[in-house]
Structure formats: C-alpha cells, structure tokens
Amino acid sequence: MDVLVTGAAGYVGSVVSEQLLAGGHRVIALDNLGQGHRAALGPEVDFIQVDLCDAPRLDDIFSGRNIDAVMHLAALSIVPHSVSNPEEYFQTNVIGGLNLLNSMLKNNVTRLVFSSSASVYGIPESIPVTEDSPQIPIHPYGECKVMFERILKWYGEAYGLNSISLRYFNAAGATSLHGEHHQPETHLIPNVLKVPLGKVDHVTIFANDYETEDGTCVRDYVHVIDIADAHLKALNAIAGAGTKAYNLGSGTGYSNLQVVRMVEQVSGVSVPVVFESRRAGDPPVLVASSDLAGKELGWVPQYGLEEIVQSAWQWQSKFLDGYSD
C-alpha cells in the first residue's frame, strides 16, 4: 500500500514508518518538524514538510499522489503546555485533523488509523481500563483526542470513513534506528537514563505517598515496536471496519521506582532519586486491558519492561544527543 503517515518524524511516527517500510509498504511522510526530526526518516520515504493547518497544501498532496490509507500520528502532546495554551492545541490537533479528513475524502481515501491516547480516560474509575471506561479527560490534550475520536464516528456515519483509533498508554523503548528525542523530555524512562549517561546527577519523581506498593505512581509501559505492530495490524483490518477503538497496554503496571531499579539493573549504575510533591491529575495507577485488541486485531505485546529499558539504553548510549538535527 501507499500509506501517508502524519507526524512521521516523531518518536512513534518514525518507528511506524520503519515498520511499514519493512512490511513492503510505501510511505508518504508528513511532518512540520516542530517536534519531529528529519534525521529520524531515511531516504526511502517520500518526505514532505507541511503543517496540517495548511489545508490547501494538504489538498495538493492528496491530489498529486495515489494514497491508499492514512496513519495519523501528528499532534502537539505536552500536557502542561496544553493547559496553558489550549488554543494552539485545539487548532493543531482538532482543526488540523479536520483538514486531513477533508482532504482524504475529497480524494476518496477512506481508511484511517488514528494515534489516540490513554489520556481520553482522565482519572479512571476502575483498573484495568477498558474501552468502555468513561472518557473524562482532565486536560486539553486529552480533550483533543476525545473530540477527534467523536469526529471520526460522525464522519464514518456520514461519509463512509473507516477508522481505527489506538489508545496507547506509555510508549517506551527504541529500535536500533529510532528512539526518544523530545525537547523538553517529559517521559520517565529517558529521563532516568540521563543519570547513567552522565547528563544529570539524579532523577525527580513526583511523590511517594500514593496508595501503591512503594508509594509511587504505577503505569503501563508498551514497547514502541509493539505499538507500531498494532498500527500495521489495524491497517490490515481497517477495510470495512466502520469506527473502532482499541486500548494498547501490557496489562501489567510498574511503579516509578520499579522503573528506576530496572534502569539500574540494565545500566549497572546507581540512580539517586529526589521526590517532589504530587502533580495535579496524576492517577495513582493506570493500567490497560488490551483484551479487545487481542481478540479483534490479533495484537499481543511481545516485550516487557526489561526489554523496553534495554532497547532505550542501547539507543541513547549510541545517540547521546539524540538526532543530529
């Protein structure tokens, strides 16, 4: 297939593009490079630097190429920034997404895999989280994801758009080619790895007074390779799918301190921890049930926390400063 990938130069987008190419697909890679890195994409892709808010340019891209399906991963994704600047987030994540859908339909492209998020659930009422759990987002980033999923439902009913939304939890890990390089870095594992890499002398963890085994938050980590695999499985299942959504999680939670200990085990370096006060809106435990994805997509995560941390450690040790651009 000829697959258009938005946000292709980002963390998950680059791995999705890598796996598409390995599967024999052709990739049209779109990114505005606001958060992504051109160096994360090889010469095999058809790269176009474009912002999804540029509707006329999107129309030109779709009309000038034979596109079979779209994987939509482009988004602003820094939660605190979404709280302080919701206008930018709704403009980019919702209006930009609408521009994409409208360009698709003008050119008879009716298959979309959407990179959604566990943030649609807010603070879950019960664990594990299922696809039927209430969607009560607690910040604009999560609200954007909910809004776009609802738009997909109505576009499906009105225009025959087939879409699969993948609500993944904490993407982590790396391939040999692609890993995490965010500015600022907000994810726990790459921040903990900065200590054995000699970039910082401690890691900050927000609170150790939660009602969990060691007092720190518990999260569900999914290897980015597994997430990319889910995107490809969704692509294969999307014809005639209507509108569907699936959780992507391991079903197993690890506390912040367990992650720190795993980094110490993998790197062989002790990691000092400094605790700060709780952050507003952090649920004590966030773990997903992925039974539906297993049943309907045949998706089962293949990698656990040790493999996740090992792959991230190898990539960051090789690319000490991330991507060159």
Range of the domain at 52: 2-172+222-248
Contacts of residue 228, Cβ cutoff 8 Å, sequence gap at least 6: 12, 15, 16, 18, 19
**Residue 281 counted as domain residue:** no
**Residue 214 counted as domain residue:** no
**Residue 291 counted as domain residue:** no
3-state secondary structure 209-249: CCCCCCCCCEECEEEHHHHHHHHHHHHHHCCCCCEEEEEEC
The CA distance from 183 to 321, in Å, is 11
**What whole-number percentage of the chain has pLDDT above 70?**
100
**Residue 177 counted as domain residue:** no
Residue 158's alpha-carbon distances to 26, 110, 243, in angstroms, are 29, 12, 12
**Residue 16 counted as domain residue:** yes
Average pLDDT value for residue range 99-121: 97
DSSP secondary structure code for residue 288 in this structure = B
Burial 8-21 (b: 16+ CB within 10 A, else e): bbbbbbbbbbbbbb
Contacts of residue 189, Cβ cutoff 8 Å, sequence gap at least 6: 172, 173, 180, 221, 259, 263, 308, 309, 312
If you compute the radius of gyration of the chain from its CA atoms, what whole number of angstroms results?
A: 19
**Residue 190 counted as domain residue:** no
pLDDT at 281 over 80: no
The CA distance from 230 to 194, in Å, is 29
pLDDT in tens, 231-258: 999 999 999 889 999 999 999 999 999 9
Average pLDDT value over all residues in the chain = 96
pLDDT at 188: 96
Structural domains of the chain, count: 1
pLDDT at 249: 96
pLDDT in tens, 19-66: 999 999 999 999 999 999 999 999 999 999 999 999 999 999 999 999
Domain with residue 34: its CATH number is 3.40.50.720
**Confidence band (pLDDT; 50, 70, 90) for 183?**
confident
The CA distance from 137 to 122, in Å, is 4
**Residue 228 counted as domain residue:** yes
List residues with catalytic annotation.
141
pLDDT in tens, 286-322: 999 999 999 999 999 999 999 999 999 999 999 999 9
pLDDT at 80: 86
**Residue 288 counted as domain residue:** no
- For the entire predicted model, the pTM comes to 0.96
Dihedral sign for Cα 179, 40, 54, 108, please. negative
